[in-house]
Amino acid sequence: MNPLVSILTTVYNRKNYIEECINSVLELNYTKWELIIVDDCSKDNSAEIIQQYAKKDERIRFYQNETNIGDYPNRNKAASFAKGKYLKYLDADDTIYKYTLDYMVEAMEKYQNAALGLSYNTIDDKTPFPQISLPQASIYAEFLSKSIIGCGPSASIIRKDIFEEFGGFSGKQYIGDHELWFKIAKKYAIVKLQPSLIWWRVHEGQQIVDERKNTNIQNIRYHIQNEYLQSCRDFFSPDEFILAEKKIKQNYARNLLRTLLIHHQYSSFLKLYKTSKLSFSQLIKGFKGYL
């Protein structure tokens, strides 16, 4: 039995990419899908392009917001229209490979106790994909190994009932997806899917590109990560918890040094350092790769 998958695409000024995105969905081998597209008051002709596709294929359902509500609220709105067992986000400037949905659905149906599947671009040369990861392993990997939840919505497939259980995305800018994956991973098993199931485009005007230019977001992520870790104390032994704290500080110390020495953003460095609560010795030890 092939469950219905709701593919969710949110749009804001994506006239240069939306056709390629929709065409990739139309070429999927897996055919039991609905494509829900919600335009967030684009100022270009994205809506007109989408409407032409919706007229030709009844599986494509198009909605337009009356006012601009922003990225994560729009993702939640798209999910509210979904009828499928699974939610599959596909950003309007990305494309999906024709075999991807077959693989994702098969993996989720195989591990029915899992709530979320993630295709993170981390190679594993010891165990073939897909892999099941229980909460203890997922949280350990997040802080003491290679994170498996640090990827965006296009790399995910989510059980709709679990998405609704957590109330969708909180709406926190830049971290909303990672925050939800983290909450889910603390409670449910997740499936580690093979890497690169989506073609992810990088271009100017993209949120992640803007984020890289904004050093203050490093500070937000650092404090959020500390907050996450404090909520997971029971997942670690005392020594592991101390090591996790040190690793977070080490990574942030490196980011601060990069801001100062590579990007030469002196005022940003001073501002971030003052709010980091890192000692001078901890900052200097960032050079050595340990704290």
Interior/surface letters 159-180, b for 16+ CB within 10 angstroms, e for the rest: bbebbeebebbeeeebbbbbbb
pTM, full prediction: 0.89
Q: Tens digit of pLDDT for each residue in 122-163?
A: 767 688 899 999 999 999 999 999 888 988 899 999 999 999
Banded pLDDT at 257 (limits 50, 70, 90): confident
Res 279: pLDDT: 83
Could you write out the three-class secondary structure of 65-111?
CCCCCCHHHHHHHHHHCCCCCEEEECCCCCEECCCHHHHHHHHHHHC
Distance in angstroms (rounded) separating the CA atoms of residues 178 and 186: 12
For the chain, give the percent of residues with pLDDT over 90. Answer: 66
| Token code pair at residue 268 | 């940003």
pLDDT greater than 80 at residue 173: no
At what angle are helices 216-230 and 266-276 packed, to 10 degrees? 20
The β-bridge partners of 95 are 199
DSSP 3-state assignment of 276? helix
- Residues 172-179 have a mean pLDDT of 83
Which range among 48-52, 163-167, 252-256 shows the weakest confidence by mean pLDDT? 252-256
Distance in angstroms (rounded) separating the CA atoms of residues 106 and 281: 50
Q: Which is higher by pLDDT, 288 or 175?
A: 175
- Residues 223-230 have a mean pLDDT of 91
pLDDT greater than 90 at residue 96: yes
For the chain, give the percent of residues with pLDDT over 70. Answer: 92
Banded pLDDT at 185 (limits 50, 70, 90): very high
Banded pLDDT at 9 (limits 50, 70, 90): very high
Res 205: pLDDT: 58
Return the DSSP state at 259: H
87, 79 Cβ separation under 8 angstroms: yes
Res 125: pLDDT: 65
pLDDT greater than 50 at residue 53: yes
β-strands 5-11, 86-89: how paired?
parallel
Res 169: pLDDT: 95
Q: Which is higher by pLDDT, 265 or 116?
A: 116
- Residues 87-115 have a mean pLDDT of 97
89, 118 Cβ separation under 8 angstroms: no
Element of type H or E holding 32: none
Res 290: pLDDT: 43
